[in-house]
């Protein structure tokens, strides 16, 4: 919902819900409701609250109306946690309210709560987005530098643990379609803030890429026509190699397979991959080395190197 269209009565109703235990309200108003009907009601209310989170949030850190969601989201987390907790039974609410964001058990419980609410988009944003800001101030003192380094390490260790857990336990019912993934991530690249940590991100981006390939099966798409062309070249190359190994045949040379041009810029894909192109699934299918996921020069940008979007013909046509 467009925040500008929220009327005062609607806003008051939403604020009432966000500040009360929604689960109890539904139980009191609908004593004979079935568990599935209750779940649907909770999902509907949760979705409405999240759609208006810019209006309902209590954060005053930054401009909530004009700040891109990629930067704003970490400031919305406390309010989102509060909404999730209010949609759960009392015992679960008390645990989620603790906000133990670096505790694996807490995150698993939160994931299951979001699964219950069928909040695919919040799952991706909450667990896969790297925050841009730390709680350490910007004064360049020795103690602040140490604290900053420790917090960055903590964020990265937690992110790795969550990526590994999600890859193993992500339920098929929450897999994303192409439209869903492109829509929910159209304002940011989830792990983009890793680039500010001044550390080697190969391991984390590899795990992230592996997870995205699993929960978004469509990114493994490749063009049958291009695959056929490259497979023919591979067969021709293998035949020439076999011919070279024969002692009765004259020596011939075959030029190597040229790198696949990146449709985003002037770089090419050979032993590494630009995540924006249609060739992501192709290089995997042809067993060309893909990991670690590396962005080549002149292929940087918001869309490249973090999650694999593909194009159809035109590099400006996403999905």
Answer yes or no: is pLDDT of 107 > 80.
yes
Q: Supply 68's token pair.
A: 């891109």
**For residues 165 and 105, what is the distance between their CA atoms, to the nearest angstrom?**
11
User: What is the model's pLDDT at position 172?
Assistant: 93
User: What is the model's pLDDT at position 156?
Assistant: 95
pLDDT band at 255 (very low <50, low <70, confident <90, very high): low
Residues 51 and 23 occupy one common structural domain: yes
Which helix (H) or strand (E) is 316 found in, with range? Answer: strand 314-318
Q: Angle at Cα 64 formed by Cα 61 and Cα 70, nearest 5°?
A: 90
Residues 305 and 188 occupy one common structural domain: no
User: What is the model's pLDDT at position 19?
Assistant: 85
pLDDT band at 209 (very low <50, low <70, confident <90, very high): very high
**For residues 9 and 6, what is the distance between their CA atoms, to the nearest angstrom?**
8
User: What is the model's pLDDT at position 274?
Assistant: 38
Residues 87 and 138 occupy one common structural domain: yes
User: What is the model's pLDDT at position 240?
Assistant: 66
Answer yes or no: is pLDDT of 259 > 50.
no
User: What is the model's pLDDT at position 297?
Assistant: 37
**For residues 44 and 67, what is the distance between their CA atoms, to the nearest angstrom?**
26
Distance, C-alpha 250 to centroid of its chain: 53
Query: What 3-state DSSP class applies to 253?
Result: coil
Alpha helices, H only, 170-294: 178-184, 202-215, 224-245, 280-285
Residues 291 and 181 occupy one common structural domain: no
Residues 162 and 234 occupy one common structural domain: no
The domain boundary residue, chosen from 219, 247, 266: 219
pLDDT band at 133 (very low <50, low <70, confident <90, very high): confident
DSSP assignment string, 48-96: HHHHTHHHH----SS-TTTS-HHHHHHHHHHHHHHHHHHTS-HHHHHHH
**For residues 132 and 249, what is the distance between their CA atoms, to the nearest angstrom?**
62
Residues 231 and 171 occupy one common structural domain: no
Answer yes or no: is pLDDT of 186 > 70.
yes
> How many distinct structural domains can be found in the chain?
2
The model's pTM: 0.68
Answer yes or no: is pLDDT of 76 > 50.
yes
User: What is the model's pLDDT at position 11?
Assistant: 77
Q: Which of 7 and 63 is assigned the larger pLDDT?
A: 63
The domain boundary residue, chosen from 219, 250, 277: 219
Q: What is the mean pLDDT of residues 22-32?
A: 92
Q: Supply 165's token pair.
A: 């857990």
Sign of CA dihedral 240, 244, 246, 249: positive
Query: What 3-state DSSP class applies to 254?
Result: coil
The domain boundary residue, chosen from 169, 196, 219: 219
Strands 260-261 and 268-269: antiparallel
Q: Which of 254 and 204 is assigned the larger pLDDT?
A: 204
Average pLDDT, rounded, for the chain? 76
Answer yes or no: is pLDDT of 307 > 60.
no
Strand partners, 87: none
Strands 268-269 and 311-312: unpaired
Residues 6+ away with beta carbon under 8 Å from 206: 291, 292, 293
Most confident of 65-69, 109-113, 263-267: 109-113
Residues 72 and 153 occupy one common structural domain: yes
Residues 132 and 215 occupy one common structural domain: yes
Residues 235 and 203 occupy one common structural domain: no
Among 24, 14, 81, residue whose Cα is nearest residue 51: 14
Q: What is the mean pLDDT of residues 26-37?
A: 92
Residues 128 and 154 occupy one common structural domain: yes
> With left for phi above 0 and alpha for psi between -120 and 50, is residue 168 left, alpha or beta?
alpha
Residues 202 and 312 occupy one common structural domain: no
Residues 135 and 229 occupy one common structural domain: no
The whole domain housing 225 covers 221-318
**For residues 55 and 95, what is the distance between their CA atoms, to the nearest angstrom?**
26
Query: What 3-state DSSP class applies to 312?
Result: strand
């Amino acid at each position: 919902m467009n925040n500008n269209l929220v009327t005062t009565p609607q806003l008051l109703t939403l604020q009432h819900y966000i500040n009360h235990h929604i689960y109890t309200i539904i139980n009191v108003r609908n004593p004979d409701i079935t568990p599935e009907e209750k779940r649907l009601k909770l999902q509907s209310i949760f979705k409405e609250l999240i759609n208006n989170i810019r209006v309902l949030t209590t954060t005053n850190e930054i401009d909530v109306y004009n700040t891109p969601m990629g930067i704003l989201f970490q400031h919305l987390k406390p309010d989102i946690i509060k909404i999730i907790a209010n949609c759960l039974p009392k015992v679960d609410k008390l645990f989620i309210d603790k906000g133990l964001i670096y505790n694996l058990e807490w995150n698993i419980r939160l994931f299951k709560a979001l699964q219950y609410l069928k909040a695919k988009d919040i799952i991706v944003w909450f667990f896969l987005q790297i925050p841009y800001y730390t709680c350490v101030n910007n004064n360049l003192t020795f103690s602040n530098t140490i604290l900053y380094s420790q917090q960055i390490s903590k964020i990265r260790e937690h992110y790795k643990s969550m990526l590994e857990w999600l890859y193993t336990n992500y339920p098929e019912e929450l897999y994303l379609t192409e439209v869903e993934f492109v829509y929910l991530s159209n304002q940011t690249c989830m792990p983009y803030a890793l680039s500010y940590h001044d550390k080697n991100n190969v391991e984390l981006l590899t795990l992230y890429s592996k997870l995205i390939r699993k929960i978004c099966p469509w990114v493994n798409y490749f063009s049958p026509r291009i695959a056929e062309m490259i497979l023919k070249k591979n067969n021709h190359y293998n035949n020439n190699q076999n011919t070279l190994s024969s002692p009765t045949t004259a020596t011939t040379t075959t030029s190597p397979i040229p790198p696949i041009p990146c449709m985003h810029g002037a770089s090419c894909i050979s032993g590494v991959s630009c995540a924006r192109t249609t060739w992501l699934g192709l290089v995997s299918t042809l067993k060309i080395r893909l990991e670690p996921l590396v962005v080549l020069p002149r292929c940087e940008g918001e869309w490249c190197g973090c999650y694999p979007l593909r194009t159809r013909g035109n590099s400006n046509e996403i999905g």
